[in-house]
Chains A and B, each alone.
Chain A
Amino acid sequence: MRVVIAEDLTLLRDGLIRLLEAHEFTVVEAVDNGPSLLRSLLTHQPDVAVVDVRLPPDFTDEGLRAAIEARRQIPGLPVLVLSQYVEQLYARELLSDRTGGVGYLLKDRVSDVAHFVDAVRRVASGGTAMDPDVVQQLLSRRTHDRPLAGLSGREREVLALMAEGRTNAAIASRLFVTEKAVDKHVGNIFTKLTLPPSEDDNRRVLAVLAYLET
């Protein structure tokens, strides 16, 4: 799988390259600033890009803006954005085109290599990878929400994991239950939140995120 990396700190950039190449990714280019990121994304059209939010020259949110711009020109271009902090505003902007193939994770998550690689693969295949912190913020914001309050504890757990972008199989193994049980929970969640049911994992995730966003 072909990857473009954007990270300005040499130490982290080299670490990411090493980590991804050890998991059978091919790093086609590693850049260290916003403008070259946009150019690189548009010329290489990689299978997935791993992008730091804060990049030179301004050290603000160049990475995010380059990613959004690239996705505007090439819809669905898979991008996983990494950051020292998560901001719901940015999650919302990344998700706004509702096409999937986006990820937004805290940089710390890289240290859990297996999960991180799984997230990169998921984004590359058009899925979603939202940081648990983002999901937690989204859920805690909606404490007064009627339909959400009607969910059982287990259903809430499933909802949170689904919002992170995990497949039913992944949720099942995470919660030590069968995939069938997860299917049932998901069905209940969609009924309680009055969302249209869907067979496709990705589409379900996007529907849940859209619900939590509004």
Chain B
Amino acid sequence: MRAVDLLSGVTRQAAAVRLRLTARAFGLVFLCFVGMGLAITAVVAVGMVWLILVIPVLMVVVTAVRWFADLHRRWASEVLETPIPRPYLPLPERGVLARLLALAKDPATWRDLLWLLVNATAGFFLVGMVCTLAMSTIGFAGLPVAWPFLPEDVPPRTDEDFRSLTGDWGLVVVTDWQSALLASVQAIPMLAIWWWATPRLIRLDARLMSWFLSPTDASMLSARVEQLAESRAETVDTQAAELRRIERDLHDGAQARLVSLGMSLGLAEQLMANDPDAAQELLAEARESTGLALAELRDLVRGIHPPVLADRGLQGAVQALALSYPGEVDVEVSLPARPEPTVESAGYFAVAEALTNVAKHAHASQVWVQVWYADGRLRLAVGDDGKGGARIEPAGGLHGVERRLAAFDGTVSLTSPQGGPTIVTMELPCVLSSPRISPSSETG
């Protein structure tokens, strides 16, 4: 009994999918005409580009074509269940002419036009087949009811070219209700063909779209170059800013303290003979000064590369972070080996920033950190059961992490519904070095 239910459920679902696809096909047939119109307008506008007046029209047409292509991209990626990225190169910020030139130089613009033509022909055929199959099925099935209302056989049925509605219906000539009933039986094979072919035709159409609308290898490469140039510029900027900060910290901190230390010592030297008490006071002051200078240097070093990270790798360093967090933090680190030092450091600072955010904003009672490695990526997740509603603000801490990780092709994702829980997940592609279990598991 249950098996039958299950089967009918599956069939219902399959039928719903096919009906939805058929509805889509009708929409797509219509869109094929729209696309054709767009293509013709574009070609005409290109031909008349020497007329200054046409330039705005051309811009509008190209924008429309891109929007139109995006629509189909989205649809095809739904059908194929793989994302189809946009192939377009970024446009210059200002200048209509500059933008137009960039558009003309972008091969994706021309591929779009080519696709419009293919879509209006081959694409039209594929989705048109789905529509035809569906309509024939309905037509055959409806004959017993509809045949009396069909118009008379206006051109004589002897005329082979003009078969009318009441003439041949498939293999049957409909003249009365018996023949109509007989003809309607043909709905069954039609339905079968529709059932079998619809998903296949639609998939083929989606393939066609993905073929023309996906970025080519060349455009993918150039987009990658663009992205790398951007992240490199950001990395260089961040590092320069970091160096400036270190220079300033040294100048205002340890350096200044050493200068004052030297002065105290010099003064103490002079006072030693005449005023030993004052000299002693100065010496005590000098000692204090060394302590402060060392404390400042320590903070600076921690900010550059935390010693515990060098000693113990991510495992120990994340544990150390958890220990300095005000409250309990559950830490789970499972790494088969250590990542590259630069990746380790980026991951460490990312977790540190995320924990700082939790401590500052979340009002959480439970906090956890997980670090693991899967599919060639180092993954770090920081979660809490706080109030949620966190966002990656520009110029905020997490935005800084995002930029820092971009240098490694890393990503930051944040889920934080109102009322929590909040989870920040950071991913860094990397390879792990030779397997070496971190020593903290031996002593800890």
The stretch among B106-114, B317-325, B418-426 that forms the contact with chain A is: B317-325
The stretch among A19-27, A140-148, A165-173, A183-191 that forms the contact with chain B is: A140-148
On chain A, the residues within 8 Å of B301 by CB distance are: 84-85
On chain B, the residues within 8 Å of A11 by CB distance are: none
Contact with A85, one of B287, B302, B312, B323 (Cβ below 8 angstroms) = B302
On chain A, the residues within 8 Å of B90 by CB distance are: none
Contact with B323, one of A61, A107, A108, A141 (Cβ below 8 angstroms) = A141
Q: How far is the CA of A206 from the CA of B312 in the complex (A)?
A: 26
Q: Which residue of A lies closest to B313 (CB)?
A: A60
Say yes or no: is B308 at the interface (Cβ < 8 Å to chain A): yes
Q: How far is the CA of A93 from the CA of B126 in the complex (A)?
A: 70
Known: A85-B302, A93-B444. A111 touches B290 (CB 8 A): yes
Q: How many A residues are at the interface, by size bracket?
A: 20 to 34
Taking a contact as CB atoms under 8 Å apart, the answer to whether A89 and B291 are in contact is no
Taking a contact as CB atoms under 8 Å apart, the answer to whether B298 and A85 are in contact is yes
Q: How far is the CA of A106 from the CA of B327 in the complex (A)?
A: 25
Taking a contact as CB atoms under 8 Å apart, the answer to whether B287 and A111 are in contact is yes
Taking a contact as CB atoms under 8 Å apart, the answer to whether B326 and A65 are in contact is no
Closest chain-A Cβ to B289's Cβ sits at a distance in Å of 10
Q: Which residue of B lies closest to A144 (CB)?
A: B327
Q: Which residue of B lies closest to A90 (CB)?
A: B308
On chain A, the residues within 8 Å of B312 by CB distance are: 60-61, 89
Taking a contact as CB atoms under 8 Å apart, the answer to whether A141 and B287 are in contact is no
Which residues of chain A (70-108) have a CB below 8 Å from chain B?
84-85, 87-90, 92-93, 106-108
Known: A137-B324, A144-B326. A87 touches B308 (CB 8 A): yes
Taking a contact as CB atoms under 8 Å apart, the answer to whether A87 and B307 are in contact is yes
Taking a contact as CB atoms under 8 Å apart, the answer to whether A141 and B324 are in contact is yes
Taking a contact as CB atoms under 8 Å apart, the answer to whether B326 and A61 are in contact is no
Taking a contact as CB atoms under 8 Å apart, the answer to whether B298 and A89 are in contact is no
On chain A, the residues within 8 Å of B307 by CB distance are: 54, 84-85, 87
On chain B, the residues within 8 Å of A65 by CB distance are: 439, 443
Say yes or no: is A5 at the interface (Cβ < 8 Å to chain B): no
On chain A, the residues within 8 Å of B323 by CB distance are: 88-89, 92, 137, 141
Taking a contact as CB atoms under 8 Å apart, the answer to whether A108 and B443 are in contact is no
Say yes or no: is A68 at the interface (Cβ < 8 Å to chain B): yes
Q: How far is the CA of A142 from the CA of B328 in the complex (A)?
A: 9
Taking a contact as CB atoms under 8 Å apart, the answer to whether B291 and A140 are in contact is no
Say yes or no: is B410 at the interface (Cβ < 8 Å to chain A): no
Taking a contact as CB atoms under 8 Å apart, the answer to whether B439 and A112 are in contact is no
**What sequence of 0s and 1s flags, for each residue 274-316 of chain B, a beta carbon within 8 Å of any chain A beta carbon?**
0000000000000100110011001001100001101110001
Taking a contact as CB atoms under 8 Å apart, the answer to whether B326 and A89 are in contact is no
Contact with B326, one of A53, A88, A108, A143 (Cβ below 8 angstroms) = A143
The 8 closest A-B pairs by CB, nearest first: A60-B311, A61-B311, A88-B323, A89-B320, A108-B294, A87-B308, A108-B291, A85-B298
Q: Which A residues fall within an 8 A CB radius of B?
A: 53-54, 60-61, 65, 68, 84-85, 87-90, 92-93, 106-108, 111-112, 137, 140-144
- 17 residue pairs of the A-B complex, CB under 8 angstroms, read A53-B311, A60-B310, A60-B311, A60-B312, A65-B443, A68-B443, A84-B307, A85-B301, A87-B320, A88-B320, A89-B319, A107-B294, A108-B291, A111-B290, A137-B324, A141-B324, A142-B326
